Amino acid sequence: MVDDDECLMIIQSGVVEASKLICLNSDFEATDRVIACLHSGAMIGDVCFLQSFIPRPASLRVKEEAEMVSIPAKKFLDVLARYPGVFASLGGRVKDMNNILQKSLGRTQETLEFSSLFHGMDPNFVRAVATISERKFVTLGEMVRGEDENTHETSVLRLLEFGLVRVEERGAGCVAQVNVGTWIGERLFFNLQKATHAGSGLLRVGTPVAVLLCIPRSAFQALLNAHPQAAKAIAARSTTDAGREVRDHHLSKLAILQTCSRSLIDSIASSLHRRSFKPGQTIIVQKCDDGGSLFILVSGHAEVVINGIAKKELGPGASFGELGTLGLVRSRAATICAVSYCACMELERPMFMQALENHPSEKQHFEAFAKQHVADAQDHEWPIFTDMPEKLLYFLNLHARRENVQQGTWSNLAGEPLPVNAAVLVTQGEIARARGDKGKAVTHEVYRAGECFGEEVLLGLPSNSCELQSRTVCEVQLITKEIFEKILRDIPDARQEAAEGIKREMAFKVESTLGIARGSPDVLLFSALFRACSLEFVQKARAACEPRLYQPGEVVLERGASEDRMFILLRGKCLQEIDGPVEDRTVKVKPRMVLAESGMLGFLTSYPYTVRAQGLCLFQTLSKECFRGVLVNHPRESHLMSSLRCEEPDLVSNVAHRLHKYDLFSHTSLQFVTMACKGSDEVYFAPEDEIITRGQVCRLGETPMYVLIAGNATVKLEFGDDLAVLKPGATIGEGGSLGIASVRSATVKAWKDGLVRCLRLQGLSLQRACGEFPEDYDALADHFRKRAQANAAFELARKAWLDEVVVPALLKCRVFRGFSSKLAHKIAQPLVKTTYAAGKNICLVGDRAESMILLLEGEAEIVTKQGEVVGRLFSGASIGEVGLLGLFCWRTATIRAVIKTTVVVLEASEVKRALKNSPGGSQAFAKLEEERRSQVSRGVPMTSLPFDDCTAEDVAVRAIALHADRILLAPNQPWTVPPDSAMGGPHYWIVVRGRAALVMGPGEHPVNPIFTFRPGSGGLCPEQLCLQSGARIHALTPLEAFRISRSDLLLADRSVPTRWFKRFEKLERDVWKHLSAKLMSAKAVLDMARRELEMKSQGPLFGIRPPSNDIISRLALVNKLRRSDLVKGHEYRSSTTSTLPGLPPAVLSLEDARVEERPVSSCTRQRLDNKLPRPLSQSGPLRSLPGVAVPHRVQSETILKGRREVDM
């Protein structure tokens, strides 16, 4: 209950900790955790919530010596009421408070339905009343009702929803107070009797904020006329609650009080008090022992949270905490948290117990309710006796001992310890159990309602419970071995069935410790035979399984005996006795291991060795009869199992003679083979199971050897390359089993097409045979060394392939550009080449793409999801770069081999693993990924083209941006299209920022620049043109450009058709036509110059002798003469004339020439026009060439069809 002296506190000095009860899943109980530290100047409490029945949301604890100022709430509010100006300074906070209340108060209809006045009335009428009602927010000191409000026409019925209202009378001051949930003015409103102080006094708001639900009388009267039944109910009222909140109707709805006397309900109602909770505030905390109060939610909504998970929502009228009030539990089973502003009634347990003491006749009712509640809420049966005869279940319920367990103990409520050697069913609460066999590690388990433990006791086995402890107050049922035997004496026919049920439950529990769900067929997947079968087949076989239990020392399988059952060890350990029970001649069998699969298949007439339980062992078994019964309805599985048969029905009994015919053992004696085969058995492998694993440590006497009987196997080297295919009769792992190799040098896997059957030769038997017959051992060692040499040769060939083919191809990829050869080699290490025949799909559109595919050899085509071929890929091309970067995880096209094609697949996980220890490589990858994300957000390069509807939000634009390759060039930096650029199909350059020139031949050649690229329509350059003509791009300013593939453009358009793609194709055609013409003209000029250089000149042109044979200087002279004055009607004459070998008449030098001017006739001009090469275009001044002085102010001019044009 909120104390009257609720106060505000201000810390003057020191440190105060704020703590809160919090329940974590790992805790046995709620713990008090520090959530904040408050220092000097902090104020504790909220002015707007004073006297609002809201408990403090956290506890305060002084961490360091602190000095605090305490301001009582009532006195503080009195001061604020007397000094309105002080309260006005809180206007901002009050406004915020009003906004919070508007959002968090419950619906008006819910508030009315649960009020004393309208409770139980027609919901339609209450809904109509809610529509005419209005919430009014008032502040401290405001008048709710004046003394002159005494006429029916002006009266308003008010319900106080939040805050406190004081009743004041002239000369007497505050004579009473109105609490939340109280109707104000109901007597006057209904004209039942004259008002008293509660009906005629002056009412003022006594808290900073109050909320009133107001119902106008005139509108209410109109509703009564429309609802005659409600009007009759109102007219039948002779009295009201005199303005007080009626609380007994809240209690009358509780199940625990429905049959109680009126006197007890009135007594309890007088003990109820108000509690309010802000949104987000916890009302009760899970696992908290808080005294056991009962709460009734009057208004608002709260949420039930169990172990951090919201389970359901509570509304007005809901109650919680009854079990704590009755003393049935000590801690809360859930956390209740206010979702909106919640008003509650609280009944504290001491008050309830006091009321019960005053009404002793009611105790029997509550005891019966407690028993009934437990029976209804925890109606659980023993899992070990599911589907048992009803008579057995009846006797179990009759004789089982029921106990309530104290929290934190294994004792009943009277403090008596409970037995440990008993089967226990938890019907309510949680019990923690520490268990473990003698000398072994202890494991901890938690059992909840409906679960049982200790069932092994009923079979006469010792309990392995080390310690039991109740995590909550809970109820359990116990059955001891004596009680169980007593029940079975009455119904002896149920003994076998009950024992099977107990073992089945034990098997389920052990399987859960192995990660297998209860009743799951996954337990059969420990056997390779079932890993190749359909789920339906495995499920049916699982239903036919039978658990078996073996005591320590008991024989599971006996040598020479027939066995038609497969065994899967779930718990315990066994020993395989190869040659008697001598310790150094045994092999351990551990959980998950499978025995006697051949017996279930019918391939075995007698078992080759004895298997003995070393401790308590639990097996899951499947008989041959049951297996065949399931197999008969599954033809695929039947064919799969029949493929394992060999010529000899019982191979194990005649294994030595058969192995002696194989290549490995043909050079050894029969006696050696016989001794080596002693204790051998058969094992099976599912498709692609590893028979042996590369790097596995081998020890003579421990490591087995395998002989392939049915099916094929593949030998794989370190990174998955196939070395050889093994056929039946081949031996596997002989080097490690004979002690020649310390580790396995290769991995051998079962083939993909079916099961594999192998004969396993035990390491112990091989060791003894090698010791007895050293000559035979030497023959086997020589065979192994030859095989090892062949493997080493293959390894060398692979290394050469990586160095010469894969690494160079990787370094040409954009994602690995700039990587060192060492790092590229590390990335290439796990790669395995895959070859696809013509017409085979390398990848399919829509497949997961967490890898990059690199074409090493061959040719492939790119196919859209509609089947259209949009491009081709050649050797060196890569697909899936964005998948490798983790930017897009689906294939956008199908890649199909056109001819025989070899590829390698780079998995993203493998590449990241290789880059893990390379900060530079990781940073480069991260930078490239961020660069691509930036491109997508900007929509470049397509948004730089002059298409209005080509925006960054366009899906196709973003897809192209994701695949675009960004290129940055500094001023004067050239970029030449590499010869292998066409391996990924046609590409385009798109300039986004800066300017670049298209040049051909020597950089200072007068034909350059052929074209200047700028952002916009002049920024597109087809790479194929540059590659065909030998042109290159030269940056004039800092340049940002993007390289995109035509296939990416087509894929984007075919996936999400765009309107701008047609305009792009037109722009491409125009650019191609324009640049082709310019490049052809420039190439013609260069070819002419080359040809003229090859000709021997008969004399100098114009008498000018060049000082050197520099072609650049000579071409510069020609164009100098042409550009400057020849086109203006002048002719150059030199005072010196000479002829140099190889100098064409049109190529001169200005270095030592003395130039004279004289008019040129039209004939001369025409002759020169026809003779001199004409440049394609020129913009800007020419650079000074080595050895040639060229004027800076020169314009490029061309005479075309009799008129002069200036190409700027």
The string of DSSP letters for 1141-1157 reads: TT--TT----SS--EEE
φ, ψ (nearest 5 deg) of residue 535: -65, -40
**3-state class (DSSP) for residue 21:** strand
Q: Which of 748, 750, 741 is nearest to 784 (CA)?
A: 741
- Whether omega for the bond prior to residue 1009 falls within 30 degrees of 0, making it cis, is yes
- Please say whether the beta carbons of 682 and 529 come within 8 A: no
The tokens for 1107 are 């000082």
Helix 624-631 / helix 535-543 crossing angle, nearest 10 deg:
140
Q: CB-based burial of residue 1031 (10 Å sphere; 0-12 exposed, 13-18 middle, 19+ buried)?
A: buried
Place of tokens 């036919």: 544
**CA of 1093: how far to CAs of 724, 962, 1099, 1110, 1153, in Å?**
63, 49, 13, 10, 21
Q: CB-based burial of residue 1127 (10 Å sphere; 0-12 exposed, 13-18 middle, 19+ buried)?
A: middle
- Please say whether the beta carbons of 1033 and 1021 come within 8 A: yes
Strand 996-999 and strand 594-595: pairing? unpaired
* Beta strands in 720-770, from DSSP E residues, in sequence order: 722-726, 731-732, 747-750, 756-761
| pLDDT for position 488 | 87
CA distance 52 to 225: 38
Please list the alpha-helical segments (H only) found in 556-693.
597-601, 624-631, 635-642, 655-659, 670-676
| pLDDT for position 795 | 78
- Please say whether the beta carbons of 356 and 334 come within 8 A: no
| pLDDT for position 187 | 75
pTM for this predicted structure? 0.46
pLDDT tens, position by position, 1105-1131: 444 444 444 445 445 444 443 333 333
- Whether omega for the bond prior to residue 521 falls within 30 degrees of 0, making it cis, is no
**Alpha-carbon torsion (846, 852, 856, 862), positive or negative:** positive
Residues 6+ apart with CB under 8 A from 758: 682, 683, 684, 685, 691, 706, 707, 708, 709, 732
| pLDDT for position 394 | 67
The tokens for 366 are 């509550």
Name the DSSP letter for residue 1162. H
Residue 743 is which amino acid? V
Q: How far is C-alpha 444 from the chain's CA centre?
A: 29
Residues 6+ apart with CB under 8 A from 920: none
CA distance 641 to 516: 25
Q: Which of 989, 978, 1098, 991 is nearest to 1037 (CA)?
A: 991
Q: How far is C-alpha 314 from the chain's CA centre?
A: 32
Place of tokens 């080596």: 676
Sheet with 756-761: strands ordered across: 681-685, 756-761, 705-710, 731-732
| pLDDT for position 1161 | 45
- Please say whether the beta carbons of 600 and 620 come within 8 A: no
- Please say whether the beta carbons of 601 and 624 come within 8 A: yes
The tokens for 555 are 């024989």
- Please say whether the beta carbons of 806 and 828 come within 8 A: yes
CA distance 735 to 718: 17
Place of tokens 């039944």: 229
Max CA pair span of the chain: 144
- Please say whether the beta carbons of 968 and 1040 come within 8 A: yes
CA distance 447 to 426: 7
**3-state class (DSSP) for residue 755:** coil
Name the DSSP letter for residue 739. T
CA distance 400 to 422: 11
| pLDDT for position 1188 | 32
The tokens for 584 are 């150094």
For 551-590, the three-class secondary structure string (H helix, E strand, C coil) is CCCCEEECCCCCCCEEEEEEECCEEEECCCCCHHHEEEEC
CA distance 60 to 18: 5
Residues of the chain below pLDDT 50: 1-5, 26, 28, 151-152, 195-199, 242-243, 374-378, 438-439, 582, 1096-1115, 1117-1118, 1120-1208
Q: What share of the chain is helix, strand, coil (3-state, %, to 5)?
A: 35, 25, 40
Residues 6+ apart with CB under 8 A from 802: 825, 828, 829, 831
Q: Which of 224, 86, 270, 245 is nearest to 160 (CA)?
A: 245
The tokens for 1207 are 């190409």
Count other Cβ atoms within 10 Å, centred on residue 307: 12
